[in-house]
Amino acid sequence: MEVQVFGTKKSADTRKALRFFSERRIKTHFVDLNVRPASPGELRRFAQEFGVDGLLDRGSKRFAELGLKHAHYSEDRWLAILAEEPLLLRQPLVRCGNRLTIGAAEDEWREWAGK
């Protein structure tokens, strides 16, 4: 079993996810969104499962800085913005095969790990 975690090192939930999988000795591939943004295809996969609104962190400082509070864009435009501005994403984005989660979803992760 291998898990891919997208997030930033400053995100407490991302660190929590990495610790969760590390404690269970599950191989983790961490993608630091500050170093390498998620690809539009990867973001689209999460958007198909949770919707673009599920990906957006409307409470983030970066969301306010960019003045997006009243923005109404198409799904494709939001995905392009999220690819350029990873700090607008709810973190972490976690993928294990075809299973996906957004945010700290320890119950689902336990289910994946079979524990």
Per-residue tokens: 60: 């983030």
Examine residue 92 and say whether the peptide bond preceding it is cis (omega within 30 degrees of 0). Answer: yes
| All structural domains of the chain with their residue ranges | 2-113
**For residue range 19-62, what is the model confidence (pLDDT) as tens digits?**
999 999 999 999 999 999 888 888 999 999 999 899 998 888 88
Structure confidence by residue, pLDDT tens digits, 84-110: 888 899 999 999 989 999 999 999 999
Q: Helix, strand, or coil here: 81? A: helix
The confidence score (pLDDT) of residue 8 equals 92
CATH fold of the domain at 2-113:
Glutaredoxin (3.40.30)
Q: Which residues contact 24 (CB under 8 A, 6 or more apart)?
A: 113, 115
- With bands split at pLDDT 50, 70 and 90, how would you rate the model's confidence at 68? confident
